Amino acid sequence: MTSPTGEKTAAERRASRRGSERRPSIDPWRLVPMDKSEHIGGEDIFNIVFVGAGNIMFGSPEGPWNHSFRLEHKLGPRMKVVALIDPAVDRAKETLKKKCNSFVVSAYKDTRVCKTLDEFRETMTAKETPKAFIVGSPPMFRGTLKSGRDVEAQILKHFPGVALFIEKPVATGPVEEIKEGYEIAKMISDSNTVCSVGYMLRYLKATQQMKKIIEDNNLTVMATIARYANAYDSILKPDWWDKAKSAGPVIEQGTHFCDLSRYFGGDVDMSTVMAHSLEWHENAGRLSKIPIDENTIPPENRIPRVTSATWKYESGAVGSFTHLTALQGYNYSCELEVYADGYCLRLVDPYQSPILYVRKPGDDHEAVHRFADDDPFFSEVSHWIDVIEDIEEDPDSATILSSYEDAVKSYELTWAIRLASERSAKAKAAASAGAAMKEVGAA
Ligand SMILES: NC(=O)c1ccc[n+]([C@@H]2O[C@H](COP(=O)([O-])OP(=O)(O)OC[C@H]3O[C@@H](n4cnc5c(N)ncnc54)[C@H](O)[C@@H]3O)[C@@H](O)[C@H]2O)c1
């Protein structure tokens, strides 16, 4: 309701802002690392439900992610985790025990562990009514309208108006289910629900500096060239190596760079996606340090070592992406180049220490920009909370950079790449078999 003074309420402000043109970027100076920011103001309790008690929520040695840690800083003493939903109850309890033994005990001392969303809903007291859900369960259990894999739809139905944060990718089910993702996106936008998806690389200062250069100079992107090379011997989860379980490395992992490419190139004409792969059984695809026993995975489910794709954006620009399972060690080697008339913006090493190389018209040399102390994981949750709280009238103060619909589009692109590479591999196998038959016939 509009207030008696004629001023808009927070919900109205949010709705009208979403209806108007969506701001696609954040001024880089607004991306402040955690140690230089204060927790959000206000007195009232901020009830939040965590779905999933795994690595993304509570951290792991594999990377810097840890949503709980950053939310504790952002929400400060207002934070109350009313429930931790995870079928692995022991893991959830163990995690809570550690939190309760630390100085953040006030956020977790009354947290209830529930096996399912239904269990929480059926036992929830009025005091526990959540203001937000953060969903970090595996993508195979969400992103659809099918019972048991429809947590978003269930939250929208039973907790209308409650904000959502969903981890990437939005799903990893069969390709036919992508349309259900778009239906969820429509439910989210029709209900004006605040929703952010965890494509945190969009919140990098370097990424936003690239956006700023493009906006300030009114540039039109001509091409995006992305490379994502993981360090495969440190990928220890057996499911990751099994296409039937993780949907393959482009969908599960390359998704970050496909999304970042789309962030600069715009919507992709899916009918143009072409791709090739280097498969596990080809000579060049033999890897010496796979950390799991790949023999336990059916041959048809083993992942490709290289996938290389090209496509046209709706704008006419061209995109390309190569995913590699080839390097060893710990650090990944990832780069994104964005070209426009006279410009090359080259983002290097966004995961460890992002560097942006900028080549401008009239200069053959690249200017080098480094971004110390940047924390895109903090920026993404910080902006999400600021949008929920709608703390300032200033429309530039908080922005969600990855909507659910946008994230479904990135998911669709990764599936299109996988399918195109599988088509090429099949065609090559058929051609080789045909050539072999001919040879036998000729002999
Ligand atoms: N943005 C990033 O850089 C980043 C990093 C890590 C993980 N992730 C994403 O986060 C998600 C989770 O990954 P993770 O590494 O934390 O996995 P994980 O396996 O460590 O944890 C997942 C947890 O979810 C629980 N779970 C399973 N089914 C559930 C259900 N139906 N409801 C609630 N919980 C359920 C599991 O028991 C487990 O405890 C994935 O989508 C992954 O891609 C993103």
- The answer to the question of residue 193 being in a domain is yes
Q: What is the pTM of this model?
A: 0.94
Q: Which atom number of ligand 1 is nearest to the Cα of residue 55?
A: 16
- Any ligand 1 atom below 6 A from CB of 304: no
Reported as a single tens digit per residue, the pLDDT across 243-256 is 999 999 999 999 99
The domain that contains 132 carries what CATH number? 3.40.50.720
- The answer to the question of residue 192 being in a domain is yes
Q: Which atom number of ligand 1 is nearest to the Cα of residue 142?
A: 31
137 and 220 housed in the same domain: no
Q: Which atom number of ligand 1 is nearest to the Cα of residue 85?
A: 33
- Any ligand 1 atom below 6 A from CB of 266: no
Give the separation between CA 146 and CA 153, rounded to whole angstroms.
Answer: 9
Of 199, 227, 248, the position where a domain reaches its end is 199
- Any ligand 1 atom below 6 A from CB of 148: no
- Any ligand 1 atom below 6 A from CB of 85: yes
315 and 328 housed in the same domain: yes
- The answer to the question of residue 441 being in a domain is no
Decide: helix, strand or coil at residue 231. Answer: strand
Give the separation between CA 397 and CA 309, rounded to whole angstroms.
Answer: 37
Nearest to 282 by CA among 424, 122, 410, 384: 424
The domain that contains 259 carries what CATH number? 3.30.360.10
Residue-number span of the structural domain to which 220 is assigned: 201-374+411-427
Residue type present at position 309: A
Q: Which atom number of ligand 1 is nearest to the Cα of residue 237?
A: 19
CA of 145 to the centre of ligand 1 (A): 19
CA of 185 to the centre of ligand 1 (A): 21
Q: Report the number of distinct structural domains present in the chain.
A: 2
208 and 60 housed in the same domain: no
Q: Is the pLDDT of residue 191 over 70?
A: yes
- Any ligand 1 atom below 6 A from CB of 155: no
DSSP characters over 256-316 = HHHHHHHHHH-SB-GGG-EEEEE-TTSGGG--S--SS-GGGS-GGGBPPSEEEEEEEBTTS
Q: Is the pLDDT of residue 2 over 70?
A: no
Of 183, 199, 215, the position where a domain reaches its end is 199
Reported as a single tens digit per residue, the pLDDT across 4-51 is 444 555 555 555 554 444 457 999 988 988 988 888 888 899 999 999
Q: 3 pLDDT band (50/70/90 cuts)?
A: very low
72 and 190 housed in the same domain: yes
CB 388 within 8 A of CB 11: no
